[in-house]
Chains A and B, each alone.
Chain A
């Protein structure tokens, strides 16, 4: 069955989430419900929310020599805050899941891309 990556697109960097914030609590609950639905319907492959972009490291290999830089690869405000890999029958099913994810993940846009070879 085809696999798709659903990326949660943030337009601003975020810092650590405040889990006492009622809005964050609502989001955690709705994402949890979506994850359960994905698993129950056999669509779940993997998924995770990501720590703030300031925690990122970029690693490069230049002729076998490994180098590292602090910070994210792309120097933009926009970045991925989390992702799912799902299995879906076809694009329309994947888009339907993406719609649910957009609603569950605090209204952030969801980018849908098919995985190679799946």
Chain B
């Protein structure tokens, strides 16, 4: 039973919280109510069994408890204020009482999760607050879990979340899906937050372990939710495809001793074919739509890698062409660096080195720049490779990554006489 309850919690907590925020008009009230409903479930379900619609049961129980408490504790005026704190679309402010009685459940609106996603990723919040709120409210992760995932003290994280919620409440942030005119910018913020969560799980920004599976799983779950709710947004689909195709390589990325293995040295037999198939299908759907954006192009690049049974079969010319497209939609030094690495695979390390020369100043503090430069120098047989590896090692904050770079440096030294 604890496992089953846990699973219901993972699946339903965010959805229930999203609906309760709409019904109650307040984030804190909704969170407390959902927590209370889950603790009632933990008491009752082992004896009575899991109800046929666990999410509906939790939502209705939470709603009833919250309303009881408001009646008990508040003056009429406070209740009125509470209901106005977060303003939804007018028609959605009250749950439909007829439907409610008919089903015995609060009407769970799919849009509630979208509203909550847009609220958590409101551009008036800093990126770290967006990530923390999203994981807390939509992911149902508790404070210690989130604090651990981002290696910040729990008290710092708690303050960040409290402050963000207060800012949204005091500013009367609306609880709605943005209007079409606002949508592109607001959706970018949501997708960026999900990708940030994925990347934090994929390569932890510091510390010993290479990845944090909880965060990658949560990011993919959020990505699926977004594509389910907004199937016509090609960048949302592109992001999900990118995460799946990257995730498909997870078990091939590290050796038995935990050390990191680069893309070209991975045992491709260990890539997850289910994730690749799903990622491919999504990339194809994006291509048919023909509205390219940064996430779709990155997903397409990952798909080309996934297509190659062996590293030497990689269609690098196709990858360079995709990076050219990427440079059109997002002309940044980091994209230019990745393009140069692909270019070196087609035209040799000299071409790659020539292409990255112009990026040296912009990317001086960027570890992957020095790692890529070191690899290219080593392949060109240049004695400068060792110094470039040293600079990359110096900039790396992840222990496994640092070991990986040290090994590359040693392998290079072994192959030469200098």
Contact = CB atoms under 8 A, between A and B. Distances in A.
A49 to B, nearest CB: 25
A92 B178 contact: yes
Main secondary structure of the interface of A (DSSP, over half): mixed
Interface string A18-54: 0000000000000000000000000000000000000
B182 interface: yes
A2 B85 CA distance: 10
B172 interface: yes
Contacts of B172: 2, 90-91, 114
Residue of B122, B168, B173 most packed against chain A (CB within 10 A): B173
B171 interface: yes
B101 interface: no
The B contact surface, by secondary structure, is loop
Contacts of B312: none
A91 B16 CA distance: 24
A89 interface: yes
B124 interface: yes
Interface residues of A, number: 10
Contacts of B122: 91
A112 to B, nearest CB: 8
A114 B170 contact: yes
A6 B168 CA distance: 17
A80 interface: no
B170 A89 contact: no
Nearest to A1: B172
A103 interface: no
A95 B171 CA distance: 10
Given A89-B174, A90-B87, 16 more contacts: A2-B172, A89-B87, A90-B173, A91-B122, A91-B124, A91-B168, A91-B172, A91-B173, A92-B174, A92-B182, A94-B171, A95-B124, A112-B124, A112-B171, A114-B171, A114-B172
Query: Lowest 7 CB-CB distances: which A-B pairs, in order?
Result: A90-B174, A91-B171, A91-B173, A2-B172, A90-B172, A114-B171, A114-B170
15 contacts: A2-B171, A4-B171, A89-B174, A90-B87, A90-B172, A91-B122, A91-B124, A91-B174, A92-B173, A92-B178, A92-B182, A95-B124, A112-B124, A114-B170, A114-B172
